[in-house]
Amino acid sequence: MQVAYLKGNWAYGVTQGMWDYGETRECQLASRSSQPPDKRGDVLVCGSDTELAWNLGWLRPDLRNKIYENARLLKVRFRSSGHSSRNKGTWWICKRNDEEIICD
């Protein structure tokens, strides 16, 4: 699955962030967010900077392009149906290890 984790400020630019083994990030599937993915497909959007950039993608297509350009193809395993909130939709706490990303 395509996984994106960016750091930075949407106004000044975002770059690919470092997600070290053992670290956790809050993630959501673009297809379950308020802004659906385009023809490039679904992406697991991780971290608050990435989430904000994704949600502003309708206004700033360059942000959405940056997310897709920096997304990496990684193995993702979902061990739950996720958490739900009115503001964010469905989201998971995901942990990176050397072989995959595990989302609970």
The pLDDT of 77-87, averaged and rounded, is: 91
The residue that leads in pLDDT, 95 or 35, is 95
**pLDDT value for 40:** 95
The Cα–Cα gap between 45 and 101 comes to 12
| Closest listed residue to residue 47, CA positions, set 64, 68, 23 | 23
Q: How many CB atoms lie within 10 A of CB 1?
A: 16
Kindly tell me if the per-residue pLDDT of 97 is higher than 80.
yes
Q: What is the mean pLDDT of the chain?
A: 93
Residue 72's DSSP bridge partners are 3
Domain ranges, ordered by start, for the chain: 2-13+25-103
Q: Is the pLDDT of residue 87 over 80?
A: no
Whole-model pTM: value is: 0.92
